[in-house]
Every structure is written in structure tokens, then in C-alpha cells.
């Protein structure tokens, strides 16, 4: 009986290993197909251009020879999507070729002559972008350039594009999201792209997907030395290590790891200590803590970061910035788990600061309390209107969202 169980475990382990290898092979095959499609695409464009020139020459000769009077039966006008002249007998072969195309190639056949327009609606732009041959992980990227019009469109419609991307980022095919983010990475500044990477960590459920999409954004950038850059680099380095250990996308993962220099030692506790020791308010610190706590599980976030690191410091020093961090983590926990017992305990601690004599602590507490209990926050506003009503920040406390 024991031997049978051992055999079953052995077979299950072998099956898991084979599945991971198969997944990796599929990724490699997809990349090779993508490269072949790119070559076919260039050849079709070249052939199409030559045939269009020939077609124009034929038209000129016909015009000179007065062939406009000929019957329509003598001129076959059926033209395929890529500009080729077709005979009626070509139909069957044409269908076989189309059936052999991948979905991506078929889209490119339909859209290859589609020119970019500055007045594209968002859906039209997404369709246009998905018809392009954008470099994938193993493709050369230095030759890929966006037109000026395309870059202007992205900068003008940045918010709408990002809203579309994050609307269904966990379910959309990764290739389509890759294409949109890759083009965004060609136009945006490094700082703006780090903000998008932050959002990937917070809103994307699969961190392997975060790993690939972060590369799409930062493929032509070098990490800087600020705290957010260090955090992103460390977490992506650790994700690369995880993928290698579970044998998931090893070839692509190592390629990205080398290009982005993702070999940082994983020491998230030291990084958090650096942030907590800094007494200045910094959006980079806040963003760093948010993506660390999104990447790590809630057990670590509550039991290690809150209970062992952040809360003892707050009790000892009463530093307002630490209360702010507590509010950020509470809001993040509520987004993911609702009013769980652990989230409730953080919220209760924040509420105790509403009536502190320290105005900063009181105001910060109210700015987060309003996200969970608006009535309690409004009561605080009524009580303190005479005391703080003339301060410029007072009205914003109850109206501006804090996250």
C-alpha cells in the first residue's frame, strides 16, 4: 500500500513537471510563430506593393488604348484584402491559405493597409494596435519605432487607454495587453511607467502576468535608484526566481531577467524598515509599501508588517506618517478581503486617533475613516468645524478620496 502511494506521488510529480515543460514549449512555439508571421507580413507587404505598381501600369496602358469601353466580363475586379488580383479559380486555394493562418496573422491580413488616424475612437485604436507586429520577448526591439502621430495619440488619450487596459486585465489575452503596454512604454517617461507598474502589482491577480507586462512597459528603460524603483526591481527579481523554481516560462523569464538586470537579493523587511524610518511624506514611499503588501500575502502584511514593524513604531513615536501608512494598508486590505477581522482591528486603531490633540493625527484618521464610515467622519467634521474650519485642508478631508 505504501509503495502504491509512493508511486502515485512520483507519477503526479512527473505529470506536473511535464505540464510545466509543455507550457514552456508552447510559449517558445508562439514566439517562433510570431517571428515567422513578421517575415511573412513583410514579404506580403513587399509583394503587394509590387503588384499594386503593376496594376497601376496596366490601368495606364488600358487608358491609353481606350479599353474603358470593354465589357466588365473581360476585367476581373475581385480583389483580396491584401491587394492581390484574384481569378475566379483562385477561390478554393485562397480559403485553404486563410484557414492555415493563426488568428493574429488573419487580423494582420485584414488590417495591413489600415493607416493610423489621429481621430481614432478608442475601440478603433485598440483594433489597429492589435493588428501591428509589436516585438515580443525574444524579438529585437531597437528597430521598432512609433510614428509621431501614434505617439501624440497615446499621450493625448493616455487615461482612456489605461482605463481600457485595466478594465479586464486579468482576463484579456496577454498578447493584446502586451501590445498596448509596449507602445505605451515607447512614449511615456520612466516615472509615469513606474506608476503603471505600481497599478499592475495592485490590480493584477497573477504575478507572472505582472512580470511579463512590466517588461512590456520598461523594455527600453534602466532602473533608477529611488525607493520605488528599488522595490519594483526587487519584487520582479524575486518573481523571476519563483518562475525558475516552478519551471514556468524559464526561457522567457531568464531573457527578461538578463535584459532588465533582475538579480537583486530579496530582503523586503530591510526595504520596509528604510521606508518606515523616513519621516518625510513621499508618494514613492507610499507606492512602494502598497506594492510590497500587494505582492506579499495578507498574513505577512498583517502579522509581520503591521503587528511587528509598523504598529510598535507608531505607539512609541506617534508619527503622523506611520498612521497614514496604516490607513493605506487598511484600505488595501478592505479592497481585497472586505471588513475582515484583521482589517477591522486596523480600522479600530485608526478611529482612536480621531480625537487626538495632534491635529495631523486627527485629520489623517478622518481622511481614512470617511472611506469606511462616512457618518462618523461627518460627526468629526461638525465637532471640529470651529476649531479647524478656516484651515485650507479642512474641506478636502471629507471630500477627497484617500488611497
What integer pLDDT is reported at residue 259 of this predicted model?
A: 92
SS (H, E, C) 210-261: HHHHHHHHHCCCCCCCCHHHHHHHHHHHHHHHHHHHCCCCHHHHHHHHHHHC
Q: What would the grid cell of residue 295 be?
A: 505582492
What integer pLDDT is reported at residue 17 of this predicted model?
A: 65
Q: At 74, is the pLDDT very low, low, confident or very high (cuts 50, 70, 90)?
A: very low
Q: Using one digit for the tens of pLDDT, what is the confidence trace for 286-325? A: 999 999 999 999 999 999 999 999 999 999 999 999 999 9
Sign of CA dihedral 334, 338, 342, 347: positive
**Backbone φ, ψ for residue 345 (5° rounding):** -65, -40
Which span out of 72-76, 101-105, 197-201, 394-398 was modeled with the highest average pLDDT?
197-201
Q: At 28, is the pLDDT very low, low, confident or very high (cuts 50, 70, 90)?
A: low
Decide if pLDDT at 274 tops 60.
Answer: yes
Identify the bridge partners of residue 79 per DSSP, sorted by sequence position.
85
| Span of 29-43, 86-100, 122-136 with lowest mean pLDDT | 86-100
Q: How far apart are CA 300 and CA 342, in angstroms?
A: 12
What integer pLDDT is reported at residue 92 of this predicted model?
A: 31
Q: How far apart are CA 112 and CA 41, in angstroms?
A: 8
Q: What would the grid cell of residue 16 be?
A: 506536473
| DSSP assignments along 105-116, one per residue | HHHHHHHTTPPP
Q: At 277, is the pLDDT very low, low, confident or very high (cuts 50, 70, 90)?
A: very high
> Are 373 and 348 in contact, with CB atoms under 8 Å apart?
no
Conformation bin of residue 247: beta by default, left when phi > 0, alpha when psi is -120 to 50: left
Q: What would the grid cell of residue 12 be?
A: 503526479
What integer pLDDT is reported at residue 245 of this predicted model?
A: 87
Q: At 80, is the pLDDT very low, low, confident or very high (cuts 50, 70, 90)?
A: very low
Q: At 331, is the pLDDT very low, low, confident or very high (cuts 50, 70, 90)?
A: very high
Q: Which is nearest to 197 in space by CA: 156, 164, 166?
A: 166
What integer pLDDT is reported at residue 330 of this predicted model?
A: 96
Decide if pLDDT at 60 tops 80.
Answer: no
What integer pLDDT is reported at residue 343 of this predicted model?
A: 96
Q: How far apart are CA 239 and CA 257, in angstroms?
A: 10
Q: At 79, is the pLDDT very low, low, confident or very high (cuts 50, 70, 90)?
A: very low
Identify the bridge partners of residue 85 per DSSP, sorted by sequence position.
79
Q: How far apart are CA 119 and CA 123, in angstroms?
A: 11
* pTM tops 0.75: no
Q: How far apart are CA 102 and CA 114, in angstroms?
A: 19
Q: Using one digit for the tens of pLDDT, what is the confidence trace for 236-262? A: 999 999 998 887 777 888 889 999 999
Q: Which is nearest to 138 in space by CA: 263, 22, 251?
A: 251
What integer pLDDT is reported at residue 145 of this predicted model?
A: 85
Decide if pLDDT at 11 tops 80.
Answer: no
Higher pLDDT, 111 or 190: 190
- Mean pLDDT across the chain, nearest whole number? 79
Residue written as grid cell 515543460: 21
What integer pLDDT is reported at residue 42 of this predicted model?
A: 46
What integer pLDDT is reported at residue 217 of this predicted model?
A: 96
**Backbone φ, ψ for residue 171 (5° rounding):** -120, -25
Decide if pLDDT at 103 tops 60.
Answer: no
Higher pLDDT, 36 or 363: 363
Q: How far apart are CA 244 and CA 238, in angstroms?
A: 10
| CA Rg value for the chain | 29
Q: How far apart are CA 166 and CA 126, in angstroms?
A: 13
3-state secondary structure of 71: coil
Domain residue ranges of the chain, discontinuous segments joined by +: 115-267, 297-403
Amino acid at each position: 500500500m505504501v509503495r502504491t502511494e509512493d508511486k502515485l506521488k512520483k507519477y503526479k510529480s512527473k505529470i506536473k513537471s511535464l505540464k510545466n515543460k509543455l507550457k514552456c514549449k508552447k510559449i517558445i512555439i508562439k514566439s517562433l510563430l510570431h517571428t515567422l508571421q513578421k517575415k511573412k507580413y513583410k514579404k506580403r507587404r513587399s509583394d503587394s506593393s509590387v503588384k499594386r505598381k503593376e496594376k497601376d501600369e496596366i490601368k495606364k496602358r488600358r487608358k491609353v488604348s481606350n479599353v474603358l469601353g470593354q465589357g466588365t466580363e473581360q476585367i476581373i475586379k475581385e480583389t483580396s484584402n491584401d491587394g492581390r488580383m484574384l481569378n475566379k479559380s483562385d477561390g478554393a486555394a485562397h480559403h485553404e491559405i486563410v484557414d492555415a493562418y493563426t488568428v493574429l496573422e488573419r487580423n494582420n491580413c485584414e488590417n495591413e493597409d489600415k493607416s493610423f488616424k489621429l481621430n481614432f475612437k478608442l475601440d478603433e485604436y485598440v483594433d489597429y494596435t492589435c493588428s501591428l507586429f509589436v516585438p515580443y520577448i525574444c524579438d529585437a526591439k531597437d528597430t521598432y519605432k512609433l510614428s509621431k502621430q501614434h505617439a501624440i495619440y497615446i499621450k493625448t488619450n493616455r487615461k482612456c487607454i489605461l482605463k481600457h487596459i485595466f478594465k479586464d486585465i486579468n482576463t484579456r489575452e496577454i498578447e493584446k495587453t502586451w501590445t498596448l503596454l509596449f507602445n505605451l512604454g515607447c512614449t511615456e517617461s520612466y516615472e509615469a511607467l513606474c506608476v503603471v507598474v505600481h497599478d499592475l502589482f495592485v490590480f493584477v491577480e497573477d504575478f507572472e502576468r505582472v512580470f511579463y507586462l512590466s517588461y512590456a512597459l520598461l523594455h527600453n528603460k534602466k532602473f533608477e535608484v529611488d525607493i520605488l524603483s528599488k522595490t519594483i526591481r526587487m519584487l520582479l527579481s524575486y518573481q523571476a526566481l519563483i518562475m525558475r523554481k516552478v519551471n514556468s516560462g524559464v526561457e522567457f523569464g531568464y531573457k527578461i531577467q538578463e535584459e532588465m538586470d533582475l538579480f537583486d537579493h530579496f530582503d523586503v523587511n530591510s526595504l520596509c524598515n528604510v521606508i518606515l524610518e523616513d519621516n518625510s511624506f513621499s508618494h514613492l514611499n507610499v507606492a512602494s509599501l502598497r506594492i510590497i503588501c500587494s505582492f506579499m500575502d495578507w498574513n505577512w502584511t498583517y502579522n509581520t508588517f503591521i503587528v511587528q514593524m509598523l504598529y510598535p513604531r507608531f505607539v512609541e513615536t506617534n508619527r503622523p506618517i506611520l498612521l497614514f501608512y496604516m490607513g493605506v494598508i487598511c484600505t488595501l486590505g478592505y479592497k481585497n478581503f472586505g471588513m475582515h477581522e484583521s482589517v477591522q482591528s486596523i480600522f479600530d486603531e485608526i478611529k482612536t486617533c480621531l480625537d487626538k490633540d495632534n491635529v495631523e493625527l486627527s485629520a489623517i484618521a478622518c481622511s481614512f475613516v470617511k472611506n469606511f464610515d462616512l457618518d462618523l467622519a461627518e460627526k468629526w467634521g461638525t465637532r471640529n468645524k470651529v476649531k479647524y474650519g478656516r484651515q485650507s485642508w479642512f474641506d478636502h478631508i471629507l471630500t477627497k478620496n484617500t488611497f
